[in-house]
């Protein structure tokens, strides 16, 4: 990889805000590190790469991404090992996926130089912001949006790519209650569900609010055609333990290919747990809970790792999942192993960690 750091202009913050942050009490996504990386796509090229203090943008009211939604993002985490080295978890997967999202939304794609070079340079400048306490990490948010000031509905010719970061703490919550959604959809075949594009999240908020008014925390999305098969949960992939096997819906154009999903599947295989990627019907899940063959259901995503569910609601009936001790479930075993790889407590036999 060629990372020509000289291309990146660095304007450092006059004073760091790091003293204002309580690293023992980090809420998700509220504290922003001192700097951000910015690059603009103009005349067919990524130009003016800069690391500047985290600050507001000045934007035109006619900015096309605000009107027509050419806006995509990524999310990944960086960790510090005992030696103080900054370790990114599988960043090339996020790079590849960002370009898949960009292609689907008819946006400019990123070069590896800009994505990885900007990411590494930013993490070097803000290395002090990477928490070292167990289960804390630096959440990294790369994103890109259209910047043409033109009201015609057409792909923008100019884009801004930005990366900023947030130190985040352990994500402890009591196991959420999930509702199987059979009216609204998150995505459909031929649509944009596999892309991490802004509008997907906007569209999911109202159905989620309705479920919360019924006492649930999150939704389980089902297929758009029949509402018969499980797709994802909230903004995460979903996994089940059925007959001792790790079972998850196979990815498609209506399911986002999570890096966490892939990591947990690979870790499970390496531990000798059988893995199945296939269609998972609502009926299989509910009868599985009732018969005791389905022993776990959990969400998989960067923010939480693996998040075990308390219950699944369907058509007004709640199906309780078994409760586990803090380290007894397959979900937590897989999550802990993934975290140990990320922080360097165990050897990274997969080659996933990218040291900055
Ligand atoms: C980001 C995301 C995921 C999880 O992807 P990770 O790479 O594991 O963080 C799953 N589903 C949706 C809809 C997402 O936006």
Of 28, 29, 186, 196, the one to substitute when testing ligand 1's pocket (max ligand atoms within 8 A of C-beta) is 196
- pLDDT attached to residue 158: 98
CATH superfamily of 177-342: D-amino Acid Aminotransferase, subunit A, domain 2 (3.20.10.10)
- pLDDT attached to residue 6: 53
**Does the beta carbon of 258 lie inside 6 Å of ligand 1?**
yes
CATH of domain 9-168: 3.30.470.10
Q: Are 230 and 251 in contact (CB under 8 A)?
A: no
**Alpha-carbon gap, residue 236 to 231, rounded angstroms:** 10
- pLDDT attached to residue 3: 47
- pLDDT attached to residue 302: 96
For residue 53, list its beta bridge partners: 35
Closest ligand 1 atom, CA of 259?
7
Closest ligand 1 atom, CA of 263?
8
Of 258, 263, 298, 339, the one to substitute when testing ligand 1's pocket (max ligand atoms within 8 A of C-beta) is 258
**Does the beta carbon of 259 lie inside 6 Å of ligand 1?**
yes
- Which residues of the chain register pLDDT less than 70? 1-6, 172
In degrees rounded to 5, what are phi and psi of residue 306?
A: -135, 130
Per-domain boundaries in the chain: 9-168, 177-342
**Does the beta carbon of 301 lie inside 6 Å of ligand 1?**
yes
Closest ligand 1 atom, CA of 75?
9
**Does the beta carbon of 204 lie inside 6 Å of ligand 1?**
no
- pLDDT attached to residue 257: 98
- pLDDT attached to residue 133: 87
Distances (CA, A) of 237 to 61, 255, 305: 35, 8, 10
- Residues near 14 by beta carbon (within 8 Å), at least 6 away in sequence: 53
Strand runs labelled E in the chain: 9-10, 35-42, 45-53, 71-73, 76-80, 86-89, 137-146, 159-168, 177-180, 218-222, 230-233, 236-242, 245-249, 275-278, 294-301, 305-308, 311-314, 317-320, 353-355
User: Which run of H or of E encompasses 114?
Assistant: helix 112-125
Q: How far is the CA of 306 from the centre of ligand 1 (A)?
A: 12
């Amino acid at each position: 990889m060629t990372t020509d750091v000289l291309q990146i202009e660095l304007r450092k913050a006059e004073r760091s805000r790091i003293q204002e942050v309580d690293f023992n009490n980090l809420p998700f996504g509220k504290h922003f590190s001192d700097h951000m990386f910015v690059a603009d796509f103009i005349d067919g090229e990524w130009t003016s790469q800069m690391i500047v203090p985290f600050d507001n943008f000045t934007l035109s009211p006619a900015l096309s991404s605000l009107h027509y939604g050419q806006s995509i993002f990524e999310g990944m985490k960086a960790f510090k090992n005992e030696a103080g080295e900054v370790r990114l978890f599988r960043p090339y997967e996020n790079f590849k996926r960002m370009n898949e999202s960009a292609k689907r939304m008819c946006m400019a794609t990123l070069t590896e130089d800009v994505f990885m070079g900007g990411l590494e340079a930013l993490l070097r400048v803000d290395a002090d912001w990477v928490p070292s306490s167990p289960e804390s990490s630096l959440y990294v948010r790369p994103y890109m949006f259209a910047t043409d000031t033109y009201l015609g509905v057409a792909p923008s010719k100019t884009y801004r790519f930005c990366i900023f970061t947030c130190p985040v703490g352990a994500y402890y919550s009591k196991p959420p209650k999930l509702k199987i959604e059979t009216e609204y959809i998150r995505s459909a075949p031929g649509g944009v569900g596999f892309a991490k594009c802004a509008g997907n999240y906007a569209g999911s908020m109202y159905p989620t609010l309705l479920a919360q008014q019924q006492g649930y925390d999150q939704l389980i999305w089902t297929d758009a055609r029949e509402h018969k098969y499980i797709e994802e949960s909230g903004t995460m992939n979903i996994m089940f333990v059925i007959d001792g096997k790790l079972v998850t819906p196979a990815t498609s154009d209506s399911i986002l290919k999570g890096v966490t999903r892939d990591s947990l599947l690979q870790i499970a295989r390496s531990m000798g747990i059988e893995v199945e990627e296939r269609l998972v019907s609502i009926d299989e899940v509910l009868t599985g809970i009732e018969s005791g063959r389905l022993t776990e259901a959990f969400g998989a995503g960067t923010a939480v790792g693996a998040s075990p569910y308390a219950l699944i609601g369907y058509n007004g009936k709640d199906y309780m999942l078994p409760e586990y001790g803090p380290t007894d479930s397959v979900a937590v075993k897989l999550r802990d192993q993934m975290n140990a790889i990320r922080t360097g407590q165990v050897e990274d036999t997969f080659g996933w960690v990218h040291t900055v």
